[in-house]
Amino acid sequence: MAIPLATTGTASFDQIAIVTGVVGLVYLALAVLLWRERTGHVTLVGRFADTIGRLDGVPRWAALTPYLHAVSLLACAFGVWWDIAIHIDRGRDTGPFGTAAHYPIFFGILGVIISGVLPIALAGKPLPARTIRLTKGWRIPCSAALVTVCGTFALVGFPLDDVWHRLFGEDVTLWGPTHLLMIGGVVFSIFARLLALAEVEQLVGLNKRRVFQEIVSVGALLIAWDLFSTEFNYGVPQFPLILQPILIVFGAAMGFTILRARRGPGTTFAALAVYLIIRGGIAWAVAEPLGQIVGHFPLLIVEAILVELVAFALGNKNRFRLGAVAGALIGTVGVVAEYAWSHVWMPIAWPSSILPSALGYGVIVGIGAGLVGAWLATRYAEVAGEERAVGIKHIRPVAVRRTHQLGAVGLVAVAATVFFCVPRSAEPGVSGVVSLERVATGGQPTAYVTITMSPGDAAKVDEARWFEALAWQGGGLVYHPMEKVADGTYRSSDALPMYGKWKSMIRLHQGQRDMVAAWVYAPEDAAIEKPAVQVSNGQTVEFVNEQLILRREERTDVPRWMWNAGYALLGVVGVLEIIGIAWLVGRGARGGRLRAAHLAAGERERETA
């Protein structure tokens, strides 16, 4: 079947040439660096690494990556939040460099790749106990391979995003396959950064600077994980609301457990401070100097307190018990705290009807994420030189296979819950009679929107996850709750814009996944052959699948199997990245255990002698 390609939101030839040229130059420079370093030539990068390595007391291959990776992550995070704000404010762009926000994302991803290639080029003794052999005399740290793979997956998402738009139109959602490919690659690279810190600790021990770097890395993980919740934080989620508490619990339980299971009291609060300062700074920068909408975010304060309290009560030697108990508390007490916070600052206040399911799923995800965090903390500790993983009976070491089983159970529990909650539905048959109360005339009319719902059982909107009047992509974002004025009749709390490029609608999210919407106003869009929409007084509107309204640019003439294939490919890549993390972290841990056992045996021999 021949399907004509879409042209909106796609790259022009000059943008394709820029991307190709920049990537080509970067890869050429990296190739030259690799060749010169591996053939024994002196390079400026090598000299710089030697200098930083002497100052930091680390091997040359580990000297530059902490700083480059941190800057790259910051650029990516800032660019993504800026880019999403622009899309909400103005609508679609014109390709990879259609907005200025794409530049920090693009160069940040390149920085992540470079931070992986540098230790490959500079690799030399001393190296961790377990490495990856590239040639007879060339071995590289596991962390370098993992960063490079994650960065490459993220970079591949950049051109694939343009291909996706040409096939399916522009999916104005963060959770599109190519968007998740880019974000996921950058997020997963943080696990490689933590692995690199453990490898360095194995070789030269621990000091305050490296503890600080680990705290910053976990803070970066919390910040990066919040990227997945960005649509909720901006007030235009396109997936069920239950996913917001699930994502918060997942990120907090995993991140805080990784850190507190290995380090001393207060480190959780230090990572929280990194998260709040940088995340708040990005939100301010996007909203104030750049003039975009405010990106809200969860506080995670109660979650950090809970992990510290559990560690204080139970200790942190039994990592899996710490992760499970702390995760269960985050899934309950933490969820209630974020429920309260949503009513203070979040754009969509969580209704009380969400609490039973949020607490139920929160416990499952919290325990699962805590077990995953404990598995990672255990493996990182072993990479750093811990001889055996401390186990469930507090003092008796647990077999390594047992810890793998616990980590796998936690990961499956989290993944199964997320995938169960992602699907959306759109129950047909809901309609309403609209009346407009105009409050402005001339070129910029606005109006209060009142709707009388039909049929009568549509009054379930009283218990809706959200029921709101929303307008976006006309130069900002406007959302007003629909307030009950009579049985079955609701009125927007403020006026909606009815002019220009604004797209105004009424959104209704009932139950766990039923999400529908109805048009109020939309301009003509000749580029995608969509007519103008202007609801009049007394007109009956039908509620349809809200995806048809929120993603007006998406094509509806593409076979369903092509959509499924795109998401299936994303799933395959995600599984490969998780397998890569598990294998490389596990490989490094095996080397660390063997090295620790060898050193312990040598120490015993010396004591006997």
What value does the mean pLDDT take over residues 183-198? 96
3-state secondary structure of 453: strand
**The predicted structure's pLDDT at residue 106:** 92
Give the whole-number percent of the chain exceeding pLDDT 70: 93
What value does the mean pLDDT take over residues 127-150? 94
539 falls in which pLDDT band (50, 70, 90)? very high
What value does the mean pLDDT take over residues 92-104? 80
How many Cβ atoms from other residues are within 10 Å of residue 166's Cβ? 18
273 pLDDT higher than 60: yes
Q: What is the mean pLDDT of the chain?
A: 91
Task: Indicate the range of 58-72, 377-391, 422-436 predicted with least confidence.
Answer: 377-391
- Over the stretch 402-422, which tens digit does the pLDDT of each residue have? 899 999 999 999 999 999 999
- Over the stretch 362-402, which tens digit does the pLDDT of each residue have? 999 999 999 999 999 999 999 999 865 444 444 445 577 88
DSSP states of 61-106? GGTSHHHHHHHHHHHHHHHHHHHHHHHHHH---SSTTSSTTHHHHH
Pick the closest to residue 486 from 513, 461, 523, 512 (CA basis).
Answer: 461
Domains of the chain: residue spans and CATH = 1-205 (no CATH), 230-423 (no CATH), 430-551 (2.60.40)
What value does the mean pLDDT take over residues 330-345? 98
Strand partners, 447: 438, 496
| Distance separating alpha carbons of residues 130 and 143, to the nearest angstrom | 11
**The predicted structure's pLDDT at residue 431:** 94
| Distance separating alpha carbons of residues 200 and 142, to the nearest angstrom | 12
The pTM is what? 0.94
pLDDT greater at residue 411 or residue 571: 411
160 falls in which pLDDT band (50, 70, 90)? confident
Pick the closest to residue 8 from 501, 560, 564, 529 (CA basis).
Answer: 529
1 pLDDT higher than 60: no
Backbone phi and psi for residue 343, each to the nearest 5 degrees, phi listed first: -85, -10
324 pLDDT higher than 80: yes
* Torsion (CA) 124, 127, 132, 136 in degrees, nearest 10: 50
What value does the mean pLDDT take over residues 482-487? 91
pLDDT greater at residue 556 or residue 56: 56
3-state secondary structure of 375: helix
Let me know: does 434 contact 454? Beta carbons within 8 Å.
no
